[in-house]
């Protein structure tokens, strides 16, 4: 059944982090990884979304720029990297790109910043 669902998602052009071997993690897991393992959170949303509120300590690289800016993340290759967007779709694509670029400890924030906010975890704004 999962193969059928994943096949349909692929036909529709929707990428699933699970389908590409990138592990989805909950906001609580991401928060713990950031605190305990010094995980890097990469926010791939657009600048206006970032400015409205983002996770403290996150690095902002919009999805459309990630391929050209991946070298900015090489210093963190030995640490877990968590990709994050609004709902988890764009960040799943970013996670796939990082995996293809050779990063091995890549995770996708399941539900994105929406889930982070729903879990009542702290964000900051750029203003």
Domain extents for the chain? 2-118
Q: Tokens representing 126?
A: 């750029």
**How confident is the prediction for the chain on average, in pLDDT?**
87
Q: For 89-122, write each residue's pLDDT tens digit.
A: 999 999 999 999 999 999 999 999 999 999 999 9
In sign, the C-alpha dihedral spanning 2, 29, 116, 35 is negative
Phi-psi region of 124 (alpha: psi -120 to 50; beta: other; left: phi over 0): beta
Quickly count: other Cβ atoms within 10 Å of residue 13's Cβ. Answer: 6
Question: What number does CATH give the domain 2-118?
Answer: 3.40.250.10
pLDDT band at 127 (very low <50, low <70, confident <90, very high): low
Q: Calculate mean pLDDT across residues 43-59.
A: 97
Among the listed residues 22, 40, 85, 109, the single catalytic one is 85
Q: Is 85 a catalytic residue?
A: yes
pTM check: above 0.95: no
Burial class (CB in 10 A: 0-12, 13-18, 19+), 97: middle
Q: What is the 8-class DSSP label of residue 26?
A: -
- Residue 60's contacts (CB-CB under 8 Å, 6 or more residues apart) are 43, 45, 47, 50, 54
């Amino acid at each position: 059944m999962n193969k059928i669902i994943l096949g349909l998602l692929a036909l529709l052009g929707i990428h699933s982090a699970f389908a590409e071997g990138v592990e989805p993690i909950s906001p609580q897991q991401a928060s713990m990884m950031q605190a305990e393992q010094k995980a890097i959170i990469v926010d791939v949303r657009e600048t206006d979304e970032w400015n409205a509120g983002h996770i403290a300590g996150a690095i902002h690289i919009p999805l459309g720029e990630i391929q050209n800016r991946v070298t900015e993340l090489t210093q963190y290759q030995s640490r877990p990297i968590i990709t994050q967007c609004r709902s988890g779709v764009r960040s799943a694509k970013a996670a796939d790109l990082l995996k293809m670029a050779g990063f091995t400890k890549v995770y996708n924030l399941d539900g994105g910043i929406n889930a982070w906010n729903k879990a009542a975890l702290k964000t900051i704004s750029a203003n």
